[in-house]
Chains A and B, each alone.
Chain A
Amino acid sequence: MQYLLLIYGDESGRPAMTPEGLQQMSQAFGAYTEALKAAGALIGGERLRPTSDATTVRVRDGKQQVLNGPYAETKEQLAGYYLIEAKDLDAALGWAARCPGASYGSMEVRPIWPMGEA
């Protein structure tokens, strides 16, 4: 099965991080990504710019509305994701727990709903 691992964290803490701290975090994510690759579990993944760089769009009554900022103000924000292949939920939860994001913030694990499947 495929699972999306969504990495949530408090992005307001990031500017306060020391260069060493940032480097450590980036190395930890690098090592984790390599581990996913080596296991043949990685399908894709990216980090995201902070929500201050987000723009939200919706169409209501045929009119397009463009809003400055994220869809919802939350305490923790979506900071990145991995798309992985895993045997079952326990395997996916195992990967999520190993992600550095699980220690900085929280990981949400969502099964992919393949197109064409009821």
Chain B
Amino acid sequence: MARDDARSATAAAERAARESYGRLVAFVAKRTGDVAEAEDALSDAFAAALKEWSRTGVPDRPEAWLLTVARRKAADAGRKRRTGADAQPRLMLINEELEAVNVTPEIPDERLALMFACAHPAIEASVRAPLMLQTVLGFDASAVASAFLVSPAAMSQRLVRAKVKIKQAGVPFHLPARADMAERLETVLDAVYAAFAEGWTDPQGADPRRRNLAEEGIWLGRLIAHLLPDEPEALGLLALMLHADARRAARRDVDGGFVPLADQDTAQWNTALIDEAESLIRRAAAMGRLGRYQLEAAVQSAHAVRRLTGRADWPAIVALYGALYAVTASPVVALNRAVALAEVEGPGAALRELDALEAEVFAAYQPFWAARAAMLARAGWPEDAVAAYDRAIGLEMDDAVRRFLQGKRDALVN
């Protein structure tokens, strides 16, 4: 128990430190246009906070604490580097910014502006999520690299390059003009969802660092939904992540085996998270601007009704995937729609849909072959089903999912 308390105190201290760090980096970076320099100025203070706050407790004014330490470190560095003529004006500038923060009674929250800079279309798409995790939440390059399965050297090179571009190309730190808002917000939401999904797809569900990333995705999602309460897609994304997170415990059985959504014990779903997601979906829907994330969240919502009625709302799921396909034209969405169709019109209808999909796209996509196998088995073609299961098994990386598919296959043979 005492150990749990200590652990939660550590987690709370870390959260507070990341919160304050992100606010300060955003504030300074917005004024100087230089993310890397803002990080440099605050990194030592942040490291000290991570170490000390879990022992001493979070200070009353956490940002002021960080600033005091940062200014002291900057002054020390200034004395040491007096010979480096180049470093001096830059340090002075940062010191002025830190000074400016100090006299500001309440530091405005510029983290949203920082997120729009990180996810600017001028920044390479694959580095947007890592950049956000580093600048807004203070994760170092190696932590981000391991989450995204990239070598630390390659990841830090990409992060450095992106920050140079933000500075040199004059990527702005502001909320986009109203006309650009929907499009720009989408890139921000996509980056947050990428961070979340990266944590979510941790195959074993066991790597604490990656599991953490799903939590960070939700945290960023909460921040955006809080700062942009009138953007329905921001609420939709948060609802989508909360619905997925609500089922975390139900995804694995006691032996660590994979449990597909349809077989999950709804008693293990987290009702509080589902309720929160549902209320977000309702709030977003009332704004009358439908979008991809709201539709995805609504699909999850239609699955979640199973806890109340004993059955997912399959006709709604088919219709929602149809609407999503109209927005995204994604083959994966078409696949999901076909699978849902099996629950409404039977496996024959689903197989006809699957046959109509472009086979090439799915040649190496495990869920396609697993879905096809399940449909074939239900339609009464066990031999074809076994062949499809074999293909799916060969494509699956995750042991637990592979064991699950193996079990399904073997049941057909015996």
Chain A CB within 8 A of B359 CB: no
Q: Which residues of B contact A105 (CB under 8 A)?
A: none
Q: Which residues of B contact A118 (CB under 8 A)?
A: 86
Interface of B is mostly: loop
Are A111 and B169 in contact, CB atoms less than 8 angstroms apart?
Answer: yes
Q: How far is the CB of A75 from chain B (nearest CB, A)?
A: 22
> Could you say which of B86, B170, B180 contacts A88, with CB atoms under 8 Å apart?
B170
Chain B CB within 8 A of A1 CB: yes
Are A111 and B176 in contact, CB atoms less than 8 angstroms apart?
Answer: no
Give the CA-CA distance A93 to B180 in the complex, in Å. Answer: 12
Are A90 and B169 in contact, CB atoms less than 8 angstroms apart?
Answer: no
Q: Which residues of B contact A83 (CB under 8 A)?
A: none
Q: How far is the CB of B187 from chain A (nearest CB, A)?
A: 13
Interface of A is mostly: mixed
Q: How far is the CB of B159 from chain A (nearest CB, A)?
A: 19
Are B176 and A90 in contact, CB atoms less than 8 angstroms apart?
Answer: yes
Are B168 and A90 in contact, CB atoms less than 8 angstroms apart?
Answer: no
Q: Which residue of B has the minimal Cβ distance to A3?
A: B170
Chain A CB within 8 A of B349 CB: no
Q: How far is the CB of A12 from chain B (nearest CB, A)?
A: 29
Chain B CB within 8 A of A89 CB: yes
Q: Which residues of B contact A93 (CB under 8 A)?
A: 122
Q: Which residues of A contact B169 (CB under 8 A)?
A: 89, 109, 111
Give the CA-CA distance A22 to B320 in the complex, in Å. Answer: 48
Chain B CB within 8 A of A92 CB: yes
For chain A, the bracket of interface size reads 10 to 19
Q: How far is the CB of B84 from chain A (nearest CB, A)?
A: 13
Q: How far is the CB of A27 from chain B (nearest CB, A)?
A: 25
Give the CA-CA distance A68 to B297 in the complex, in Å. Answer: 60
Give the CA-CA distance A55 to B169 in the complex, in Å. Answer: 31
Q: How far is the CB of B164 from chain A (nearest CB, A)?
A: 11
List which A84-117 residues lie within 8 A (CB) of chain B: 86-93, 109, 111, 113
Q: How far is the CB of A97 from chain B (nearest CB, A)?
A: 10
Q: Which residues of B contact A87 (CB under 8 A)?
A: 170, 172
Chain A CB within 8 A of B171 CB: yes
Are B168 and A111 in contact, CB atoms less than 8 angstroms apart?
Answer: yes
Residue among A1, A3, A87, A90 having the largest count of chain B Cβ atoms under 10 Å: A90
B 152-175 to A, binary, CB cutoff 8 A, 1 in contact else 0: 000000000000000011111010
Q: Which residues of B contact A1 (CB under 8 A)?
A: 170
Chain A CB within 8 A of B120 CB: yes
Q: How far is the CB of B57 from chain A (nearest CB, A)?
A: 41
Q: Which residue of A has the minimal Cβ distance to B167?
A: A111
Q: List 25 A-B contacts (CB under 8 A).
A: A3-B170, A87-B170, A87-B172, A88-B172, A88-B174, A89-B120, A89-B122, A89-B169, A89-B171, A89-B172, A90-B171, A90-B172, A90-B174, A90-B176, A90-B177, A90-B180, A91-B172, A92-B170, A93-B122, A109-B169, A111-B168, A111-B169, A111-B170, A113-B168, A118-B86
Which residues does A use to contact B, with CB under 8 Å?
Answer: 1, 3, 86-93, 109, 111, 113, 118
Which residues does B use to contact A, with CB under 8 Å?
Answer: 86, 120, 122, 168-172, 174, 176-177, 180
Closest 9 CB pairs of A and B: A88-B172, A88-B170, A89-B170, A1-B170, A90-B172, A89-B171, A111-B169, A89-B169, A111-B168
